[in-house]
């Protein structure tokens, strides 16, 4: 996957401290750092602000990240998800001062922040921290006018502060690659040559100020498809933008839970419920419509048989997950409906 990417002329690789218990950073070292000259690629890593409770954690975590990645500096380093969700890590501990110092010392070439917060929050934080050089935002055509996520408003704030924008969730962790048939039909009728994913990519890649789109590929096929998309990432026409508005209306009418699959909640659940996975199945089931039996419901049954996992009805309503959710979803409430949807006699419950 790395070789395909590098051969095609792309060279930005993004990693995060906690993903896969550090294996993401180590994989980056093995696949990239140990195989390519240092100046030929750019590494993006992030300070896990949500895991910081004491000043004494900062230096060891940063040193560990450099060591795991096998580098002497990060090309781009971000304060990870600066928001109400992580405020202990940047209000109680001066993490901003720490990362600014690391930049002065040459360990960080460019310093920025990522956030899932709203536009007002972003405006305030960029006013207080004008030294942030760039921002990583959740931007996609579906969240563009969403009142909770405020993609458009966040992008406008970034432009107001003159900050270059990196994009995450361009197709909502795959959600926008599998749109309802009616939406897909509208897209194909307007432009038969473009895939459903292509519409999502072209929407974000052509926004003013966007310098990088994180595509989140998890297979060689996805890398190859993304390379093809970005070779010819022409802007959407006015007609196509109008189609996307209609597509969003259709999808929004069918989305039940606005879960982005960030998985921040999952490790806090004492009942071992894979909330993210279950919500994904639930959303897909709702988009397909109510069914007595569906492959999605079958996938839920298969999930429920895995050793040690909790299912929706195992939720004890302890609410430990709620404050971890950047989308502010009332998780235990939704799980009640998930249980009603999937845990039926028809599925053997």
Using CB under 6 A as the criterion, which residues of the chain lie in contact with ligand SF4 when the complex forms? 259-265, 268-271, 273, 275-276, 279, 315-321, 324-325, 327, 329, 331-332, 335
The whole-angstrom separation of Cα 235 and Cα 241 is 10
Looking up tokens 């781009």, which residue turns up? 76
24 versus 313: smaller Cβ distance to ligand SF4: 313
The whole-angstrom separation of Cα 43 and Cα 35 is 14
> Which H or E run includes 203?
helix 196-205
Shortest CB 218 distance to ligand SF4, Å: 17
Give, as one character, the DSSP assignment of residue 164. -
Query: Quick check: 342 and 281 in contact, CB under 8 A?
Result: yes
Q: What angle do CA 62, 64, 67 make, to 5 degrees?
A: 115
Rounded CA Rg of the chain: 21
225 versus 327: smaller Cβ distance to ligand SF4: 327
Q: Give the E-state strand segments of 198-343 in sequence order.
A: 210-213
Shortest CB 315 distance to ligand SF4, Å: 3
Query: Quick check: 57 and 89 in contact, CB under 8 A?
Result: no
β-partners of residue 115 are 137
149 versus 187: smaller Cβ distance to ligand SF4: 149
306 versus 318: smaller Cβ distance to ligand SF4: 318
Shortest CB 73 distance to ligand SF4, Å: 31
190 versus 326: smaller Cβ distance to ligand SF4: 326
Shortest CB 278 distance to ligand SF4, Å: 9
Query: Quick check: 291 and 179 in contact, CB under 8 A?
Result: no
> What is residue 267's three-state secondary structure?
helix
Shortest CB 142 distance to ligand SF4, Å: 14
Shortest CB 82 distance to ligand SF4, Å: 16
15 versus 283: smaller Cβ distance to ligand SF4: 283
């Amino acid at each position: 996957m790395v070789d395909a990417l590098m051969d095609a002329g792309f060279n930005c690789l993004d990693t995060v401290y906690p993903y896969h218990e550090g294996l993401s950073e180590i994989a980056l070292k093995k696949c990239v750092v140990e195989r390519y000259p240092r100046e030929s690629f750019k590494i993006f890593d992030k300070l896990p602000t949500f895991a910081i409770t004491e000043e004494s954690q900062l230096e060891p975590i940063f040193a560990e990240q450099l060591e795991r990645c096998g580098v002497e500096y990060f090309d781009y380093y971000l304060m990870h998800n600066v928001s109400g969700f992580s405020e202990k890590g940047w209000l109680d501990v001066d993490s901003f001062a720490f990362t600014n110092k690391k930049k002065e010392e040459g360990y960080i070439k460019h310093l920025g922040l990522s956030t899932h917060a709203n536009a007002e929050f972003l405006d305030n934080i960029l006013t207080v921290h004008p030294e942030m050089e760039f921002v990583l935002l959740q931007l996609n055509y579906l969240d563009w006018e969403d009142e909770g996520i405020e993609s458009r408003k966040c992008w406008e704030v970034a432009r107001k502060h003159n900050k270059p924008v990196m994009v995450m969730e361009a197709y909502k962790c795959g959600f926008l690659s599998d749109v309802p048939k009616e939406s897909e039909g509208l897209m194909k009728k307007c432009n038969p040559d473009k895939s459903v994913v292509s519409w999502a990519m072209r929407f974000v890649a052509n926004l003013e100020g966007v310098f990088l789109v994180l595509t989140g590929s998890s297979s060689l096929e996805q890398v190859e498809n993304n390379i093809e998309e970005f070779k010819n990432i022409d802007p959407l026409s006015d007609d196509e933008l109008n189609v996307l508005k209609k597509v969003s209306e259709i999808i929004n009418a069918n989305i039940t839970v606005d879960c982005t699959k960030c998985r921040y909640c999952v490790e806090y659940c004492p009942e071992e419920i894979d909330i993210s996975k279950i919500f994904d199945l639930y959303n897909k089931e709702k988009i397909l419509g109510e069914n007595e039996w569906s492959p999605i419901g079958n996938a839920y049954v298969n999930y429920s048989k895995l050793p040690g996992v909790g299912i929706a009805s195992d939720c004890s309503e302890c609410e430990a997950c709620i404050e971890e959710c950047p989308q502010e979803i009332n998780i235990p409430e939704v799980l009640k409906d998930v249980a009603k949807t999937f845990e039926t006699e028809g599925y053997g419950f």
